[in-house]
Amino acid sequence: MVLLTAIGLGILISIPPGPASSLLMAAARNGERSRWFKLLAQVLAADLIIMSLQRTILLPFAHFFETFLMKAAAGIFLMALGILSFKAHRKAHVPRRSGSLFWLTLFNPAVWCGMMLIVSWSLSGGWTFLLGFQLGTALWYVILAVLFMKLSLKVQNRILLSSFVFITILGLATVAQAFTRI
């Protein structure tokens, strides 16, 4: 039962649009299957590192990820990703820096805060819960890629452009929130 609950949570928490889903959709749209798998591996690896660190040593220091510096840096990074992705979209590709989604996920305070909740739930379910959560996340991105590819190219482009704008606005809001809490 723990495993099924964790898989369900992994799916539900991965549904909101963000950098990972946008880049994975773009890679799927461009038919870049190997790139899609690399991006998925980057997200899952960063999530697993975050959850492992939190579970073993960082649980008492969760407040750090709400600090001004972390929020401002994450917001600027999100804005840059959104703007660069929006510009690159016209050329039918997304930014190609190796490991960029790994680092974006690893240094995203929203991921750290969200994972802190997942880790706190996992304390009774152990590593089975955390691995089930990872499986649910991967399952959501597979479903997303399959469903996304069934849409017309025009609809795919609108969804991608909207997600890049959303990421840019999310970055701007994160920076603004960091400065309002000084």
Domain boundary assignment for the chain: 2-180
Q: Name residue, tokens 């369900």.
A: 8
Is residue 3 predicted with pLDDT exceeding 90? no
When pLDDT is averaged across residues 34-39 and rounded to a whole number, the result is 91
pLDDT of residue 135: 93
Is residue 42 predicted with pLDDT exceeding 60? yes
The phi, psi pair for 18, rounded to 5°, reads: -165, -175
Q: CA-CA-CA-CA torsion for 133, 136, 141, 145, nearest 10 degrees?
A: 170
pTM higher than 0.85 for the full model? no
Contact 24, 167 (CB under 8 A): no
| pLDDT range class, residue 96, cuts 50, 70, 90 | low
The phi, psi pair for 91, rounded to 5°, reads: -100, 10
| pLDDT range class, residue 45, cuts 50, 70, 90 | very high
The set of residues, in sequence order, having a beta carbon less than 8 Å from that of 181 and lying 6+ positions away, is 68, 71
Contact 21, 144 (CB under 8 A): yes
- How many whole angstroms separate alpha carbon 152 and alpha carbon 27? 15
When pLDDT is averaged across residues 130-138 and rounded to a whole number, the result is 89
Amino acid letter, residue 3: L
pLDDT of residue 180: 81
Identify the residue with better confidence: 74 or 93: 74
DSSP class of residue 151? Answer: S
